[in-house]
Amino acid sequence: MSVVATLPTWNPLSMWYSDGWTVTKRNLIKIKRSPDMLVFAVIQPIMFVLLFSQVYAGAIAVQGTDYVQFLMAGIFAQTVVFGSTFSGSAMALDLKEGIIDRFRSLPMSSSAVLIGRTNSDLVLNTISMVIMMGTGLAVGWRVNSSPPEFLAGIGLLLLFSYAFSWVMALLGMSVKSPEVINNASFLILFPLTFVSNAFVPSSTLPTPLRIFAEWNPVSSLVQAARQLFGNAGTAPVPDIWTMQNPIATVLIGISVMLLVFVPLCIRKFASISSR
């Protein structure tokens, strides 16, 4: 009578999911052990809410809506976009500290490192969103739409932040040191967030900046959030396809970012790991 040993079979998909979830937990534990990271991540959006709603609101008028209602969608969009920079800075730091070499020596999916990184930043952005909404309610912001639309607005903001975190992860793997990522990301994020309709109507900008703002994906994200939260009021909307169809524009942008930057990140990570 022969005994045949049965070896366990591994499902690549389940391994990829398990590895990604393990790295995600590792990154969240790291945040838990460094609470200052979480504190600074939420202080900045709170400061922007208070600054614009309490200091500048009296000087900025928006036709057809209250400025605080107009402002909050812009603050939400700015925060989730800036929050995606954690992927870039954390990847650059892990490369510098050598943790990537340790991951490379383990029997794990290489893409799990990237999945774990972007997933943990999504959790951090979600926490920031909750705190920001509480701050917004305190200064007079209100949701004037149905619960499904409200949830759709939150989902769209977080999905955009997740897709954009892949862009920043690629940038983080491309710079030479973690110190460079802050300056490099600032050159991208500053025009995207401030040359937009986040804080003022795009119609008030000079013509070159107005054209940029109207085609800026962050402007579409802000406009989509305003519509879904019921904060658009009767403010005039530019007669541009991206502004007339902001939700579709954002979904297209998210799809393009994921289709382009996820493979690029995986390829870049594989190239780094093979050195």
**What are the residue boundaries of the structural domains of the chain, listed by start?**
18-273
pLDDT tens profile 236-253: 888 899 999 999 999 999
Residue 77's pLDDT is 93
Residue 257's pLDDT is 95
Are 45 and 75 contacting, i.e. CB atoms less than 8 angstroms apart? yes
Higher pLDDT pick, 243 / 47: 243
Q: CA separation (Å) from 169 to 26, 74, 240?
A: 17, 23, 31
pLDDT at 161 over 50: yes
> How does DSSP classify residue 57?
T
Are 157 and 61 contacting, i.e. CB atoms less than 8 angstroms apart? no
Instruction: Write down the pTM of the prediction.
Output: 0.86
Q: For residue 122, what pLDDT band results from cuts at 50, 70 and 90?
A: confident
Q: Cα dihedral angle (138, 144, 150, 152), rounded to 10 degrees?
A: -140
Residue 7's pLDDT is 40
* 3-state SS class at 234: coil
User: Mean pLDDT across the stretch 12-35?
Assistant: 67
pLDDT at 128 over 80: yes
Could you give the residue ranges of the DSSP H alpha helices within the chain? 12-33, 35-50, 67-83, 85-97, 99-104, 111-138, 147-174, 178-194, 207-215, 217-229, 241-244, 246-273
